């Protein structure tokens, strides 16, 4: 394969090159889970490289290029297994939207995937304004003309399952015992626990109690609470700054740089949709967040990144 560099370890393989040079060299149905953020055409320019998807000159050309990748991901993903795509609506500086998630959904359905879920990831509006400089979040327009103001766009995690019968199911014999996020127990859960057990725990006290009394080898209330939070269609406690260091990866000719995907999101998806020891692929590795999250959870990470930095 044509790459600038590659590094292989017992826990990961990473490639500095074009994902469309690397993925066609992977074996059919060799990937257990794929998780990634596609370049957001029209929102960010990640590099000046003409091979960079984000440098397509139109949405139509971007979708044509992206479709080539989806075809390859369908080929390398095992039957019945998951591709998780992190995305958002594309917002221009005036607040008008392009329904990018819809395009992603239709392309995956076209190439052998079933669309299973859309998880909404809440983002704090001021931080969105500071990150994107979108005018529709400026407070001055509330005063001057609020028809120019719109709520901050969330992120989405789209979950696709490749058609076919799964050969190796993803199992959690002891449930999920580690929580990735900021608020594992909600007030109504605490109130129900206190009413049932005659206790007066605060959320933090109940969480410490559950962690202390949880026994490996049995499904406990701890597991049920974690699943209740993960099963929500809105993930509202993702820690926005729980990311790998990324500022040194900005190059001089980059138009903008993007906050990498939060480790909380990656760990949840990896935990939910892969077994320990399985292979997790990301075609747009960035600073390595998805590979890091996979290895941290005991999986084998395969990452591809065009930018050397």
Contacts of 109 (CB under 8 A, 6+ apart): 115
Give the chain's mean pLDDT: 90
Nearest one of 288, 283, 294 to 65, comparing CA atoms: 283
Cα distances (Å, whole numbers) of residue 142 to 128, 132, 147, 217, 294: 17, 18, 8, 55, 43
Parallel, antiparallel, or unpaired: how do β-strands 12-16 and 97-98 relate?
Answer: unpaired
Residue 136: give its domain's CATH number: 3.40.50.150
Are residues 163 and 188 part of one domain?
no
DSSP 64-99: HHHHHHHHHHHHHEEEEEEEEEEE--EE-TTS-EE-
Are residues 150 and 110 part of one domain?
yes
Mean pLDDT, rounded, for 208-221? 88
Return the structure tokens found at 98.
């392009």
Cα distance between residue 147 and residue 282, in whole Å: 39
Q: What is the pLDDT of residue 293?
A: 97
Are residues 191 and 164 part of one domain?
no
Are residues 243 and 231 part of one domain?
no
Tell me, yes or no, whether 273 lies in a domain: yes
Mean pLDDT, rounded, for 194-212? 95
Parallel, antiparallel, or unpaired: how do β-strands 113-121 and 279-282 relate?
Answer: unpaired
Q: How many domains does the chain have?
A: 2
Are residues 220 and 294 part of one domain?
no
Are residues 227 and 251 part of one domain?
no
Cα distance between residue 101 and residue 103, in whole Å: 5
Indicate the pLDDT class of residue 96, thresholds 50, 70 and 90: confident
Mean pLDDT, rounded, for 28-40? 94
Cα distance between residue 33 and residue 58, in whole Å: 30
Are residues 79 and 152 part of one domain?
yes
Are residues 95 and 9 part of one domain?
yes
Return the structure tokens found at 271.
């935990």
DSSP 146-206: GGG--PPPPEEEEEEEESS--SS----TT------SS-SS-HHHHHHHHHHHT----HHHH
Is 80 exceeded by the pLDDT of residue 171?
Answer: yes
Whether the full predicted model's pTM is greater than 0.85, yes or no, is yes
* Alpha-carbon 309 to chain mean position: 21
Tell me, yes or no, whether 126 lies in a domain: yes
Mean pLDDT, rounded, for 128-132? 76
Is 60 exceeded by the pLDDT of residue 255?
Answer: no
CB 100 within 8 A of CB 213: no
Picking from 235, 258, 273, the residue at the C-terminal end of a domain is 235
Are residues 15 and 71 part of one domain?
yes
DSSP SS3 for 110 = helix
Tell me, yes or no, whether 178 lies in a domain: no
Are residues 297 and 199 part of one domain?
no
Are residues 169 and 81 part of one domain?
yes
Contacts of 270 (CB under 8 A, 6+ apart): 33, 35, 280, 293, 294, 297, 299
CB 229 within 8 A of CB 113: no
Is 90 exceeded by the pLDDT of residue 162?
Answer: yes
First to last CA, the chain: 20
Are residues 290 and 141 part of one domain?
yes
Q: Which range marks the domain in which residue 210 is found?
A: 183-235
The answer to which of 115-119, 140-144, 226-230 has the lowest mean pLDDT is 140-144
């Amino acid at each position: 394969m044509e790459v600038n560099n590659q590094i292989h370890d017992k826990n990961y393989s990473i490639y500095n090159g074009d994902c469309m040079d690397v993925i066609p060299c992977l074996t059919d149905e060799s990937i257990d889970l794929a998780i990634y953020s596609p370049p957001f055409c029209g929102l960010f320019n990640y590099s000046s490289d003409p091979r960079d998807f984000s440098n397509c000159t139109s949405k139509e050309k971007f979708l044509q290029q992206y479709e080539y990748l989806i075809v390859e991901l369908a080929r390398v993903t095992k039957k019945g297994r998951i591709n998780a795509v992190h995305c958002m609506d594309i917002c221009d500086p005036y607040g008008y939207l392009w329904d990018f998630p819809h395009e992603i959904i239709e392309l995956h359905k076209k190439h052998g995937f079933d669309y299973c879920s859309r998880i909404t990831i809440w983002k704090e509006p001021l931080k969105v304004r500071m990150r994107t400089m979108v005018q529709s979040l400026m407070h001055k327009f509330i005063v001057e003309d609020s028809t120019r103001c719109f709520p901050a766009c969330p992120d989405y995690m789209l979950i696709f399952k490749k058609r076919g019968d799964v050969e190796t199911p993803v199992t959690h014999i002891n449930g999920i015992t580690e929580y990735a996020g900021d608020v594992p127990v909600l007030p109504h859960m605490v109130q129900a626990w206190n009413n049932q057990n005659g206790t007066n725990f605060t959320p933090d006290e109940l969480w410490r109690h559950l962690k202390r009394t949880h026994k490996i080898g049995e499904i406990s209330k701890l597991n049920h609470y974690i699943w209740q939070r993960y099963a929500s269609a809105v993930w509202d406690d993702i820690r926005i700054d729980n990311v790998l260091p990324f500022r040194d990866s900005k190059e001089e000719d980059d138009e903008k740089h993007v906050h990498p995907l939060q480790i909380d999101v990656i760990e949840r998806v990896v935990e939910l949709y892969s077994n320990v020891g399985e292979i997790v692929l990301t075609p747009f590795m960035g600073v390595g967040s998805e590979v890091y999250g996979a290895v941290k959870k005991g999986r084998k990470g395969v990452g591809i990144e065009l930018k050397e930095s």
